[in-house]
Amino acid sequence: MLVARDIQWNFTCNDSREKHRKVSPLSLGLHMTKLHWIKCGIASLLVSLSAHAQSATPHQSPPTAADGIHTAATSSLLRELDSSLQRVVARVAPAVVQITVNGYGPSEDQGHKETAKIARQHAIGTGIIVDPDGYIMTNAHVVEGAQRIRVILPPPPADSELELQPIHAQQILDARLVGIHKQSDLALLKVDATHLPSVPLRSDLRVRQGELVFAIGSPEGLQGTVTMGVVSSIAREPDPDDPMVYIQTDAAINPGNSGGPLVDIDGNVVGINTMMLSKGGGSEGLGFAIPSTIVNFDYENLRKYGHVQRVTIGARTQNITPTMAKALGLSRSWGAIISDINAGGAAEATGLQIDDIVLGVDGRPILGLPDFIAALYLHPADRVLRIEVLRGASPMSFNVPVVVYHDKEELSDIPVVQKNLVRRLGIFVTDLDEKIRPLVHGDRSDAGVLVVAQAAGFSAVDTGLEAGDIIRAIDHTPMQSISQFLTMIHAFQSGDPVVLQIERNGKLQYLAFEME
């Protein structure tokens, strides 16, 4: 659930757990622009403070009537700004929910993904109600491996500033997972409720660097927390090996904010908070949100199909650097270049070539890899993609048919309800049925039991089993189902010798041990 990418910084997904683990839009009736409001408010505050300081300095002239008028005007302006910001929070906050998850996930000391250990976990994150009929968007890593997902609706406004609002039973709703997209780190939940407060998603928002934004969520489990900041960057790619592009903000984001909204001063959802860069584990003003265009695209796909339908043209692109341009003799030292083309793919069939510089996609200019990724990500599955490239000094245009796909599942994506914990061996297993076979390498037989993962926290015998192993037999008895496997395992006494015939990476081998 928590993802860690250790470069010089720690990528921290913002969900709160029992253990700390490192990872990886309402009209306000304003008569001025957003930036003008902010500048006026800050400038007036500074003027007011300066006037106060001068009045407190000895040997200065006493306040005049003009000073009083100026101070009153300043206070009025700040109160109006303050009231406007309060109205934004009051509009959005009722649609922000706390999400609690019980389930299984990778343990802290996991190694390679295929040999990861799974442990019992409890997670707290945030979600935003995007449809009054109970549809909620959150982060995929918040609900990954969930056995039970519950949504806690925010309490009604208190009559008194010091009044504590207890959580009532009717505020806690069971939620089901409609769909999940791990690459974008987004998931869609559904609760059985109607007429809920909601903030609809939009795909036509234009986010600007420097604009004021709010992050609302449950950092460290503190439900309904609001923090404020600005958009630090509108397109940030923190990991060069990850094609995802994020909105960067200095609004405080901490563990537990994951899945919560980043909103502008009009109450529009401009992004879903997903992670932060931190050396110490807390907010350092480097938070990242998934842009609303991607959130809306994934929401519509997950609600309609249960997964995200994306397109590909069979080509890979990279950012052009000055060094690359000089060495390859390119006509420009910036942009996106086609670095690979799949044999037999649509790009090759239409005439695209390696070293073509991408100028535009569907009429949108491409200034770099993030622009190309976004254009391809949001391209409709039923339309031909129009791409303009620069080959040498000659501009060219191609119509490329797209291929629709959705992310291939992995062993870790198998729902927990399909996993069976075998405590004596410290493993999770599942039947090798038609849904599971495409995920494994075994091709010798349709019968067997698949090891999904190792289980952490169990004093089990060292069997040598790894995730992905297919158990074909126990002591020469072929395995046909989980029930048969469990029956035989439970029949062994402590000290009995056991031999498992397994298939690993397409090859058969024996694992021998004594039962404990």
Question: What's the CATH number where 364 sits?
Answer: 2.30.42.10
- 414 or 42, which is more confident? 414
Residue 150's CATH number: 2.40.10.120
Q: Are residues 87 and 97 in the same domain?
A: no
> Could you tell me if residue 29 is inside a domain?
no
User: Is residue 303 included in any domain, yes or no?
Assistant: yes
Q: Which of 103-107, 173-177, 407-411 has the highest mean pLDDT?
A: 173-177
Model confidence band, residue 13 (pLDDT cutoffs 50, 70, 90): low
Residue 29 has pLDDT above 50, yes or no: no
Q: Are residues 483 and 379 in the same domain?
A: no
Placement of tokens 């939009």 in the chain: 202
pLDDT band of 53, cuts 50, 70, 90: very low
Mean pLDDT of the chain: 80
Asked if residue 293 and residue 164 are part of one domain, the reply reads yes
List, in order, residues 6 or more apart from 272 with CB less than 8 Å away.
128, 137, 138, 139, 186, 259, 260, 261, 262, 289, 290, 295
Whole-angstrom distance between the N-terminal and C-terminal Cα of the chain? 31
Q: Does 113 lie in the same domain as 77?
A: no
d(CA 487, CA 485): 5
Q: Looking at the domain assignment, is residue 217 inside a domain? A: yes
The Cα 461–Cα 516 span in angstroms is: 6
Lowest mean per-residue pLDDT among 101-110, 152-161, 397-406: 101-110
Rounded CA separation 513/231 (Å): 58
What's the rounded Cα separation, in Å, for the pair 190 and 175?
5
Residue 333 annotated as catalytic: no
Asked if 397 contacts 387 with a C-beta cutoff of 8 angstroms, the reply is yes
Place of tokens 């994306």: 310
Amino acid letter, 113: K
- How far is residue 489 from each of residues 455, 500, 503, measured CA to CA in Å? 16, 11, 18
Q: Are residues 15 and 78 in the same domain?
A: no
Last residue of a domain, one of 405, 428, 457: 405
The domain in which residue 377 lies consists of 310-405
Are 319 and 417 part of one and the same domain? no
Lowest-confidence pick of 105-119, 135-149, 206-220, 396-410: 105-119
Answer yes or no: do 67 and 120 share one domain: no
Task: Measure the CA–CA gap between 34 and 56, rounded to whole angstroms.
Answer: 33
pLDDT at residue 127 tops 60: yes
Percent of all residues in the chain with a pLDDT value above 70, rounded to a whole number: 74
Helical H segments across 440-497, by residue range: 482-491
- Cβ neighbours of residue 386 closer than 8 Å, sequence gap 6 or more: 361, 362, 363, 397, 398, 399, 400
Final residue belonging to a domain, choices 288, 308, 328: 308
Q: What is the Cα Rg of the chain in Å? A: 28
Backbone φ and ψ for 49, nearest 5 degrees, come out as -65, -40
Whether the per-residue pLDDT at 144 is higher than 50: the answer is yes
pLDDT at residue 497 is higher than 70: yes
pLDDT beyond 60 at 57: no
Residues 315, 258 share a domain: no
Burial 490-514 (b: 16+ CB within 10 A, else e): eebeeeeebebbbbbeeeeeebebe
- pLDDT one-digit tens code per residue, 251-274: 999 999 999 999 999 999 999 999
Can 185 be counted among the known catalytic residues? yes
* Residue 128 placed within a domain: yes
Are 269 and 215 part of one and the same domain? yes
What is the pairing mode between strands 212-217 and 146-152?
Answer: unpaired
pLDDT at position 418 over 60: no
Name the active-site residue from 198, 232, 258, 292.
258
Catalytic residue among 15, 131, 185, 431: 185
Percent with pLDDT over 90 in the chain: 44
Output 244 or 114, whichever has higher pLDDT.
Answer: 244
Establish if 202 belongs to a structural domain. Answer: yes
Per-residue pLDDT for 442 more than 70?
no
Q: Is 356 a catalytic residue?
A: no
- Per DSSP (E only), the strands in 246-328 are 246-249, 261-264, 269-278, 287-291, 310-312, 315-319
Residue 441 reports pLDDT greater than 70: no
Q: Are residues 257 and 145 in the same domain?
A: yes
Weakest-pLDDT range from 136-145, 453-462, 470-479: 453-462
Tell me, what's the pLDDT at 37? 45
Contact 453, 116 (CB under 8 A): yes
* Shared-domain flag, residues 500 and 454: yes
Residue 435 pLDDT greater than 80, yes or no: no
Read off the pTM: 0.68
In which band, very low, low, confident or very high, does the pLDDT at 30 lie, cut at 50, 70 and 90? very low
Beta bridge partners of 277: 11
Looking at the structure, do residues 397 and 455 belong to the same domain, yes or no? no
Decide if 1 is inside a domain. yes
Between 297-311, 338-352, 411-425, 454-468, the lowest mean confidence (pLDDT) is in 411-425
**Residue among 172, 265, 255 at smallest CA distance from 218:** 255
Note whether residue 380 is domain-resident.
Answer: yes
pLDDT-derived band at 104 (thresholds 50, 70, 90) equals low
Q: What is the pLDDT of residue 406?
A: 62
At 337 the pLDDT is: 95
Q: Would you tell me the crossing angle of helices 292-305 and 369-377 to the nearest 10 degrees?
A: 30
Asked whether the predicted pLDDT for residue 72 surpasses 80, the reply is no
**Tokens at 466, concatenated:** 């790894």
Quick: pLDDT tens for 356-414.
Answer: 999 999 999 999 888 898 888 888 888 899 999 999 999 999 999 998 876 655 555 55
One of 24, 44, 107, 141 is an active-site residue; which one? 141
127 domain residue, yes or no: yes
Domain boundary among 372, 405, 438: 405
pLDDT for the residue 269: 96
How many domains are there within the chain? Answer: 4
